[in-house]
Amino acid sequence: MSRIAKFVIKQLEDKKQQRWVIQSKDLFDLWENMGIMGCEDELMDILEYLEENNIDVHFENSTYEAQFNIFKRIEMGYKLRKHMKDQIDKNKIKIEKVLSIKPKVNDSFLLEYMTDDEEEQKIINEKHNKVYDENGKVNSLNEFQEKIKMKINEEMLENTPPIDNTLIEFIRNNS
């Protein structure tokens, strides 16, 4: 045996864990005697205990194939329940995060509908349409929208790739 193999085996000796084994016949007899074979929640709780305590279930031979299939079905249900519980916990955290967000509600535009006087409505609309730019200067909403459009157009022009002169000549000659 090589030195590397001996070293790996030595390292694995330190990492060994003790697992306990119970016979499947004993487990299923207990479940049947207790009358919990139909209670999958109870069986999954028992499987959780077995997993946490490093206990394996040993199926001796093919005569216990029906029990093995039942055990595998319950074990799959347990794994699914465990996975779903993790997902539910993650979703709860996300829901709590979303629910904790409190938006700033600006309902000043509703003041317009509280009066029938056209002059008051005009004053309210002017107050509502005021927007402050980065310098703190008051701009109308339209001016603000125009500035945004201009910035977008400038960025688009800056990001467009240059057109080759031969392509321009080709388009001029073939049109």
d(CA 9, CA 3): 10
Long-range contacts of 160-165 (CB under 8 A, 24+ apart): none
Residue type at 1 in one-letter notation? M
Residue reference for tokens 């409190």 = 102
Condensed to tens digits (0 to 9), the pLDDT of residues 81-140 reads 888 888 888 888 888 988 888 877 766 666 666 667 777 767 766 666 555 555 655 566
For CA atoms 119, 123, 126, 129, the dihedral sign is negative
> If we measure between CA atoms, which residue out of 127, 147, 123 comes closest to residue 135?
147
Terminal-residue alpha carbon distance, the chain: 81
Q: What is the DSSP letter of 135?
A: T
Q: What is the dihedral of CA 61, 67, 70, 75, to 10 degrees?
A: -60
Condensed to tens digits (0 to 9), the pLDDT of residues 67-79 reads 899 889 888 988 8
Do 40 and 80 touch, CB atoms closer than 8 A?
A: no
Residue 50, pLDDT > 60, answer yes
